[in-house]
Structure 1
Amino acid sequence: MRIGNFILFEKKQTDADILEMLGGGVPTSSGVTVTPSSALCVPAVAAAVRTISEACASLDCRVVEIGDDGTETVTRLHPANALVADEANDWTSSFELIRQMVVDALTRDQGGLAWVNWLRNEPVEIVRYRPGIIGAEYDPDGSGRATYRINGSPTPADQIIHVRSTFEKSPVSLCREAIGAALVMEQHAAKLFVNGARPSGQIVSPKSLGDEGVKKMIKGFMAAYGGSSKSGGTPIFWDGTEFKAISMSSVDAQFQQLRIFQLQEIARAFNVPAILIGELSRATWSNSAEMQRLFLMLCLEPWLQALESAFRRALIAKGDRKRFAIRFERDDFSKVDLSVLATALNSLIASRVLNPNTARDWLGLPPYEGGEDYANPNTGASQPGIGHNGGPALGSDPQPSPKFDEEERDDAR
């Protein structure tokens, strides 16, 4: 509908949007309804979402140019480089954009959606709208092809960045029952402390004492044994009364273990090691480093490749996709542990896979003269006083060969 120079579009609501606006969703077997907002109230879910989204957003993202030999070099001349490496638009940084798109993909079945504004055949900004503004409808033939609308207005697919989770469902939807059980446990723990602590026992009398008798018994018991100065004494009961301790049931005793198990279930749903969301009961010095490596390889790497593909489709023209690509710098994670990084670089230089200047470039250091040579600094021609052919270097004194007498030579044999 047009009003003057303005065009108004009617937003087409999906079933998920309507249910979320009504504060509902699909109820779980535990009796609670799990929505993206309520799921993030579970600390384990919030930790998993933050761990994945912030890890993706913290990596350097660059546009690279692919050479004829397959080598990739970072190019800052492409207009998309500023959008993924610096600012997506005037009010959103690239870090915030990537983080929020991954959050949407982790919590909503629709995934993370953003619109790319093209002017004069160049991308000039990336805008991420609140959920529901950009809609995606898929062809009924099952091909997976999507048609996009912004506020009901059709939008070309090559202007939309779309990141979706595995199975076309978000982890929040797939582990709805596990999150619902965690919510119920949170509510149970809160009510337990709100209603007061469980009493340690009860005093049982074989006959009726009446209101006055109960008051006198409590007053006398507190006078004799109440207070920290009288604790530890042996109580004496009268008129046949006896004390019966109240023990916790098996369900109450296992409540803490059940909560830990539920945290591990949520970690499985998001495919993150439990130690990364605060479950450290089985963490050791050795397996913690291995879990972080598995997190990068099995959890983070698929998300990074999904982001690279989605950015490439929307930020690089179709005719230039064989020449340009978008890459996240994975090496930033190895720089966290300096000892591991130093060992890896020394091994790569010694095996002549890298030269010293390339290794220094990884560390953000300038090159030095002679650092382009692929040589092992520990053996061979790189040793001081040894020439390139393995013999003595020019200008160096030859080392005298050892002399053995006959007995020493026989012993050596």
Structure 2
Amino acid sequence: MTGSGGDVRHRGERWRARYATDPAATRGRLIPEAVSPTRSDFQRDRDRIIHSAAFRRLKHKTQVFVHHEGDHYRTRLTHTLEVSQIARALARALGLDEDLAEALALSHDLGHTCFGHTGEDALDALTKGHGGFDHNAQALRIVTRLERRYAGFDGLNLAWETLEGLVKHNGPLLTPEGAPTARWAERGIPAAILEYDAVHDLELGRFAGPEAQAAALADDIAYDSHDLDDGLRAGLFELSDLEEVPFLAKLMEEIDALHPGLEPSRKIHELARRVITRFVEDVIAESTRRIEVLAPMSVEDIRGASAPVVAFSPALAEADTTIKRFLYARMYRHPSVLAVRAQADIIVADLFGAFTANPAAMPEEWRVGLDGAGGGRIARRVADYIAGMTDTYAVLAHKRLFATTPDLHWSPESRGLPLAEG
């Protein structure tokens, strides 16, 4: 049967395109396990991610606003759930495996630190001599090493396709010649990725499957919508300021024409939902066009393509860039934001210094095996420990170790400014 996603065939109760990632043909797990009689490998991966400690901690990790400044602003967890919903919608429309798309959406932020990108930037600088810190590489460490739930292995022992998508959802890491791609040319591919790839080849020079590509775009769409929503509700900018973004100006004209005099809170909701709808519809149309041109017979054709098959059209790619440029200037680089980020940076730096100087200050499970260890090993263990902290836990840990702790609350006039740029 042929649908909007191309040649689609029926398997059980699911419709899946022939170019989708087939759970029945998975490349398997690093450590073999018995097949589940009730769930596909990708369903099992999704469930393992949801039940992981790292996933639970997303509830109290900064997305854009510190969680205790208000219950209406996004956390890493609520952002992740929004990305999951959009990823499933894209996968369904394109005939992809929804469970794999969902698993990748749910896992994409597992490696983020406390205090958003402030924490990541701080840890990257502090571990520069030991390989640096990258949240995507950290997510891989979490699902392959740091989670300790199962008797037979460390990590979650996820399927190859899930790990591939986790590492490569933003595109290949290597060029056809084997050199790092532009994104990694200066700093090099993170050691954690190279180390794992050496024992379980993730084909770093090829694109990930279409489900990973859909999850990556779902992340962009969610950011564009909810950062506008949170920024407007926090008073960082006004609806009238969005006139400088043509895509948003047109949406507001539509809202005004259909609902003249609409109260601001409802108008913000209307804008956010229309942003999601337009981007989702665009991805479906553009991806369908690219799939028809490529005519892939299997997921391997998509992995071997010269460009992503799940993508924005040129017009909406420009709109995405323009929205992000607006948010960067109005939210992420606001002087008050930078001032608060500096305070969070102090907390992370203080904790890192204290734990590297005295690993015994960490809980027992984190200091096991560090007796006589070199500085690089200690630094990496401390970075793993701090990266797993929630915002609240990091503040409490600092208070236990230091006489004074930076205040991360904002002054009343700042009206809940964001901490980091998600």
Same fold (TM over 0.5): no
Which one scores higher on RCO, CA 8 angstroms, separation ≥ 6? 2
Please state which structure has a larger fraction of its residues in helix: 2
**Quick check: which has more Rg, 1 or 2?**
1
Q: If the TM-score is normalised by the length of the shorter chain, which range does it land in?
A: under 0.3
Query: TM-score, normalized by length of structure 2?
Result: 0.22
Query: TM-score, normalized by length of structure 1?
Result: 0.23
